[in-house]
Structure 1
Amino acid sequence: MQNKRYIKKLEQYEGLEGWNRMPLGRQLEIWADGYGDNTAVSDENGEITYRELNEKAEKMAYGFLDRGIGNGKKVLVQLPNRISFVIAAFALAKAGAVPIMALPAHREAELSGIMELARPVAYITADKYLGYDYMPMAKMLEEKYDFLEHVIIDGKQENKEELTAIEGEKRELPEVDGYSTAFLLLSGGTTGIPKLIPRTHADYLYNARMSAKRCRMNENSVYLASLPVAHNFPLCCPGLLGTLDKGGKVVLCANTSPDEILSLITEEKVTITALVPAMVTVCMEMLELDEEYDISSLKILQVGGALLEDTLADRIIAEWPCKLMQVFGTAEGLLCFTGLEDSDGIVARCQGTPVSPADEIRIVDESGKEVKDGEYGELLSRGPYTIDAYYMADEANETSFTSDGFYRTGDRAMRTGEGNLRMGGRIKEQINRAGEKILPAEIEAYLCRYGKIKEAAVVGVKDEVLGNRSCAFILAEDGESLELGEIHRYLQELGVAAYKYPDQLEILEFWPLTSVGKIDKKVLADMAVSNK
């Protein structure tokens, strides 16, 4: 017989500073009252004030209600970084509907899984984006799923409802409980089965508010959403919501490209942005080639989404005119940032501390016993903005949460003597080579210290003799060539155990990236197999 599942009681957090049982639609009204004619959001086509944003979201909410889109109904939203995304998200919040935050890069395989699990009544998408025509996919979904009552297009499209035309007569909006689900975020997992992450209005606003506090944001803050804003990092860490809560300005980057990112920082006098490590590297290369970019307005560069190599952290600290803030976070909840007062040594080597005093963390070994400070184990978390279950996923919930409600992040971590977390990569990425355990992040850090290597990524692949073998992918410094034997000699000089030496070496000119700019290790593993 299964143990009764732990269910978090949000009421226990009501005494926390920054906690409020406030629905996001109502919160936007408060922001509009307080910040009025300040610019809230800008994109490549214009800008919108706080007051205008609230008014447009309200009119759209009436239109959604006219179509029966409210009262907990699910809506699949797949829009790029545009003001229309922000309006639609708040309009759905006001109507009491629940947007499912798909990324622009998702295609039929991902969307079909989401459809079958959540059964949304509406799908909101762009007509075209970055050369991709979404209309054939929208038509396929509409024909395949009879529960999908509305396909709404952000753009001009005959015989389809247009997002800009979704308006209705003013009326009393429904009461929305701040403890109800505000968004369904997508898990960053690599399995084909989607896991949806239910975040409530109250916990997500608290998430954003505590993130903004750690970043010391205010009305003068200008946040650049460099990554797809439907992703948790630029949506709420502090992202869009945290910036709006402080009365700042959000600049939406239409494409996650280094030239546009650097141009917008220059033109908009951006004070804070968030990037993944691979994108930081490309931006640094562009800064070396083009002196017209001016990033002197930046006060904070957040880097997260993947492990930041120590050597790259050192370069950022030395070369960028702002404070580096390392970020470890999960869409399921827990957020850790380094502090603006932390020393360069801590910032370069750690991923900080939780943003809330009510966050609870454990670091445990394979038997569930807590490890000592300085030892790696699996990171578990529980707290005010960490979920207690995935949406309609009983099997995943049994394995992803402990009996007392701690979320198993699947990440290796250690706690330093100062109380900071240092992450060690995903546990499932650990390579079991002939019975010996290899941590890719450790080997990547060693390789990046070698003068000929710019960046490195280590993956494990199945091997008939060893069980698993390791393959090191590297980007070499300009004009440098490398062979596997040279790598082995270098690691030997460092005193690294021989079983940790890469069995295979592949040199690349650029990384394959995921939809949010992370190095795609699944693609690397496939390349390692095909190139052997």
Structure 2
Amino acid sequence: MPWPEDLATRYRNAGHWRGDVLSDLLREPAAGDPARTAVVTGDGRYSYGELDDRADRLAAGLADLGLEPGERVVVALPNDVDFVVVCVALFRLGAVPVLGLVAHRRAELSYLVRSSGAVALVAPDAHHGFDHRALAGEVAAESPTLRHVLIAGNAGGFTALADVTAPPRTLPPPEPDEVAFFLLSGGTTGKPKLIPRTHDDYSYQLRATAEAMRFGSGSTYLAALPAGHNAALGCPGVLGALRAGGTVVLAGSPSPDEVFPLIAAEKPGLTTVMPAVLSLWLDTAPLFDVDTSGLVIEVGGAMLPPETAERVRTELGATLTHWFGMAEGFLSFTRLDDPVERADTSQGTPMSPDDEIRIVDDEDLAVPDGETGQLLVRGPCVLRGYYDVPSHNAEVFTADGFLRTGDLVRRAPDGAITVTGRVKHTINRGGEKISGDELETELAAHPAVRSVAVVPVPDPAFGEKTCAVVVPDGDPPTLAGLRAFLADRGVAGFKHPDRLRVVTSLPYTAVGKVDRRALAADATPEG
């Protein structure tokens, strides 16, 4: 779904869309200083010149296989150099990566192939002891559109990615307004939707976020989250770091055992994490002799307790920027020069001056600043429609193109946005609407709570009641103790949890968010 011509003209005239294409990633630094380090992994260091040449050869090899511009390719690779080379090669060919995750299995990958009409799948041979070749065989068996399975490493009976190569040749460049790749929606219900991102809009996102984070050719970005996820891909992330001519350090996981040695060795200046990962880093940092004082940490994806933000400054000596972002294209975040209180209490202001925001009630009427409402957005990076789901698009987009994000926010008079929860993470307790995210933030401040998730439990009288699922820090808290704590913090009584479950750990999705669906499935009226 293209942007209307009047908006497209506005975004071009404002200098947001400059006709850049992602196929040009690596070109300028490779021409200027081919020996400059582009990517660092646990297996080695790779220069701009080397990666530029590998991407050209892979693009030519893919063309020789018969892949054509516009065809879809599902990419489900871990954080390694092959991910970078494959993406850039596909951009240069004009084929469209569908960015899955290495954690995806048959149900997810088959769905992605089917919904996108993909003709190829790229996967590793094995990862963390799991055989992805067998998985690829299962997907291929039920995916009639798949013509090729490309395996990074020992290919078994499939085509080895390393063998897909040909002498570099000139290929027709993509158009800036064409779809560059697909991201996956992070919705909490149903299968993810495909989010088309164009060369124009994503190039703007890479440039604007890099400028805001002061990321340049001498900077280093640590990708601790999956690179196929928007947070680590383009905020400015892996692609933004390469566009700026900087260095990307690819961590296989956000585990402290892997991340802290990389921080010590490579001294990155920027990284991106989710709150759960950040809490783990804070708890384990004293075990590692590493200087994190030069690190800027982008944190988003869930509510961040102010106490955690303070620990980042006092215990890590790092700088925190607080983000609200979505693969659909809207970003809001605190800037490096903002007062520290803003990062503690809000997700800052929108990335683009041409991002348009509406905060409305259930009747789509605007709510005043300071009051909570549903967030609607439109802008130069915000999609105009998910791929090939017209009935869903009719529900989530207004007639004039605003996306109903499903997020509950309030806006301060200075424009700063604070996310208070999700419309679909709202518990209806006898008619009283309780934001699960808001309650989680309050409970996380309790000294005996290491981490917490709030889910609804069915109740015959109230319809729903609240259950707090708590991972304790030391002796477990009691339900009465939690309720007294919330009362002392001034939290309304109807928001206090009705049930308490104490667990050893919370389940997480592949992108590091608490899997509330799994928790809710286990919830019972008895708690």
Q: By the TM > 0.5 criterion, same fold?
A: yes
Q: Given the alignment, which residue of 364, 367, 383 partners 1:368?
A: 364
- SS of residue matched to 2:278: helix
- SS of residue matched to 1:14: helix
> For each residue in 1:214-272, what CA deviation from the matched residue of structure 2 results, as whole angstroms up to 9, or x when unmatched?
10111221100000101010000110111112211000001231221112111111111
Alpha carbons 1:317, 1:344 under 8 Å: kept: no
User: Which is further off, 502-511 or 58-67?
Assistant: 502-511
Q: Given the alignment, which residue of 467, 484, 488 partners 1:493?
A: 488
Partner of 1:273: 271
Partner of 1:341: 337
**Residues in 1 aligned to 2:13 and 2:2: alpha-carbon distance in whole angstroms:** 25
**RMSD over aligned Cα atoms:** 1.8
Alpha carbons 1:6, 1:404 under 8 Å: kept: no
Q: Given the alignment, which residue of 260, 263, 278 partners 2:261?
A: 263
1:519 aligned onto 2:503: no
Query: What's the TM-score, normalizing by structure 2?
Result: 0.96
Alpha carbons 1:225, 1:273 under 8 Å: kept: yes
Alpha carbons 1:7, 1:405 under 8 Å: kept: no
Query: What's the TM-score, normalizing by structure 1?
Result: 0.95
- SS of residue matched to 2:232: helix
**Residues in 1 aligned to 2:196 and 2:352: alpha-carbon distance in whole angstroms:** 19
1:240 aligned onto 2:238: yes
Classify 1:529/1:5 alpha carbon distance in 2 versus 1 (closer, same or farther; 3 Å).
farther
Query: How is 1:189-208 mapped onto 2 (pairs within 5 angstroms)?
Result: 189-208=187-206
**Residues in 2 aligned to 1:510 and 1:190: alpha-carbon distance in whole angstroms:** 20
Q: CA deviation at 1:39?
A: 0.8
Classify 1:296/1:491 alpha carbon distance in 2 versus 1 (closer, same or farther; 3 Å).
closer
Partner of 2:385: 389
**Residues in 2 aligned to 1:382 and 1:410: alpha-carbon distance in whole angstroms:** 14
Q: CA deviation at 1:35?
A: 4.5
> For each residue in 1:275-316, what CA deviation from the matched residue of structure 2 results, as whole angstroms up to 9, or x when unmatched?
00001111111113x142332342x11101122122212222
User: Which is further off, 357-366 or 481-490?
Assistant: 481-490
Q: Given the alignment, which residue of 323, 343, 353 partners 1:327?
A: 323
> For each residue in 1:493-528, what CA deviation from the matched residue of structure 2 results, as whole angstroms up to 9, or x when unmatched?
344332212111012232211112222211221233
Alpha carbons 1:113, 1:194 under 8 Å: kept: no
**Residues in 2 aligned to 1:92 and 1:521: alpha-carbon distance in whole angstroms:** 35
Partner of 2:454: 458
Partner of 1:71: 69
Partner of 1:117: 115
Q: Given the alignment, which residue of 398, 401, 404 partners 2:397?
A: 401
**Residues in 2 aligned to 1:208 and 1:6: alpha-carbon distance in whole angstroms:** 19
Q: CA deviation at 1:6?
A: 7.2
Partner of 1:482: 477
Classify 1:494/1:256 alpha carbon distance in 2 versus 1 (closer, same or farther; 3 Å).
closer
> For each residue in 1:43-64, what CA deviation from the matched residue of structure 2 results, as whole angstroms up to 9, or x when unmatched?
1111221222111101100011
Partner of 1:425: 421
- SS of residue matched to 2:177: coil
Q: Given the alignment, which residue of 289, 292, 307 partners 1:292?
A: 289
- SS of residue matched to 1:145: coil
Query: How is 1:132-281 mapped onto 2 (pairs within 5 angstroms)?
Result: 132-281=130-279
Classify 1:88/1:200 alpha carbon distance in 2 versus 1 (closer, same or farther; 3 Å).
same
User: Which is further off, 158-167 or 388-397?
Assistant: 158-167
Partner of 2:504: 509
Alpha carbons 1:434, 1:467 under 8 Å: kept: yes
Q: CA deviation at 1:450?
A: 2.8
How many equivalent residue pairs? 526
**Residues in 1 aligned to 2:248 and 2:256: alpha-carbon distance in whole angstroms:** 18
**Residues in 2 aligned to 1:136 and 1:457: alpha-carbon distance in whole angstroms:** 35
**Residues in 2 aligned to 1:202 and 1:33: alpha-carbon distance in whole angstroms:** 23
Q: Given the alignment, which residue of 44, 47, 64 partners 1:46?
A: 44
Q: CA deviation at 1:457?
A: 2.1
Alpha carbons 1:70, 1:92 under 8 Å: kept: no
User: Which is further off, 327-336 or 510-519?
Assistant: 510-519
Partner of 2:433: 437
**Residues in 2 aligned to 1:86 and 1:291: alpha-carbon distance in whole angstroms:** 30
User: Which is further off, 96-105 or 433-442?
Assistant: 433-442
- SS of residue matched to 2:523: helix
Alpha carbons 1:14, 1:20 under 8 Å: kept: yes
- SS of residue matched to 1:308: coil
Q: CA deviation at 1:334?
A: 0.5
**Residues in 1 aligned to 2:446 and 2:491: alpha-carbon distance in whole angstroms:** 14
> For each residue in 1:382-404, what CA deviation from the matched residue of structure 2 results, as whole angstroms up to 9, or x when unmatched?
11111000000111101111111
Unaligned runs of 5+ in 2: none
> For each residue in 1:82-125, what CA deviation from the matched residue of structure 2 results, as whole angstroms up to 9, or x when unmatched?
10110000000100100000011111111122122111110110
Identity score, percent: 40
Alpha carbons 1:461, 1:468 under 8 Å: kept: yes
Partner of 1:98: 96
Partner of 1:529: 524
Q: CA deviation at 1:18?
A: 5.2
Q: CA deviation at 1:66?
A: 0.7
Alpha carbons 2:468, 2:501 under 8 Å: kept: yes
Alpha carbons 2:206, 2:240 under 8 Å: kept: yes
